[in-house]
Amino acid sequence: MAARRLTAEGLREWFTTVVRHTASDRRAPHKPLVLLDALARVSRGDARLTRFGDIEQHLSSLLARFGAPGASSHRPQYAFYRLRNDHGGRLWELEPADLRRHENASGDVPLSALRGASGGFPADVHALLAGDLALLNGLTSVLLEEFAESLRPEILDAIELHWTPLVAPRRPRSGSFREDVLRSYGRRCCVCEFDGRLGADDEFALEAAHIVWHAYGGRDEVPNGLALCTFHHKAFDRGALSIGDDLRLLVSEDLSGANTALWLRNFAGRPLVLPRRTDHHPRLEHLRWHRREVFRAGRDQPA
């Protein structure tokens, strides 16, 4: 039986279901990042298939910056190869076609074999994307939902992809989350107590951060939120900063740079500035998720 003709709606459904296992709260950023990079290549008019060996280092860098903690999670070869199994092989193509003869018992191929192989979207998927930039933009939105909002501009810069957020999130967002969090924390950063304003009421560089990201079941409620200045929000979402069960600040041992002490290291061990209402304090299960899935504890510091 001939395969059904691919439509834009069908492709959206594929992207929505392929990015991760929805029943899990464990981060799985590998396929989203590989697909985002492939979308960027389509938008630039690059060749349909790209040799893995030519982009291995680039993909590894994306995973190191935006993936889950741990060096073992920075290996892009598994996603690059396993994408061929999604949706009956109609979403991702690999050449040479007989690459499967190198598969081991776990269903993967040796890195040496994959480095000489090329991958990308099949011809019908590529043609649909190249001819419909609104569709490409919408699929980018689907994939970016897997990452904290503060990280999305950095990801797009890293893959050189222009994007306009036109697609509504899969889960509705609360319009009051930011105001509820900032009010509860006294309208100041819970790390450094920054509370800047221009004039009487124009506060700036103060944001409400999710502890458990929205894509992984994080709710728009104060116990899953932190009031953070723009800098410490980015540090929290990138895994340079986290919070222990004792509600004291943890700082990654992997930090380097002349001014990291001033902006981050000096805060290690300090108690979080907490809301007065104890029922608004961060929930321990949320903090444990962040330490497990985001925080880059480093060499000697336990998460």
Task: Map out the domains of the chain as residue ranges.
Answer: 8-159, 177-293
Show the tokens assigned to 240. 């340079």
Q: Classify residue 282 as left (phi > 0), alpha (psi -120 to 50) or beta.
A: beta
Mean pLDDT of the chain: 90
Note whether 12 and 142 are within 8 A (CB).
yes
Q: What is the pLDDT, as a whole number, of residue 71? A: 60
* Euclidean distance between CA atoms 221 and 218, whole angstroms: 9
Confidence category of residue 184, pLDDT binned at 50, 70, 90: very high
Q: What is the pLDDT of residues 249-297, one digit of tens each?
A: 999 999 988 888 889 999 999 999 999 999 999 999 999 999 999 999 9
Confidence category of residue 1, pLDDT binned at 50, 70, 90: very low
pTM (2 d.p.): 0.84
pLDDT exceeds cutoff 70 at 174: no
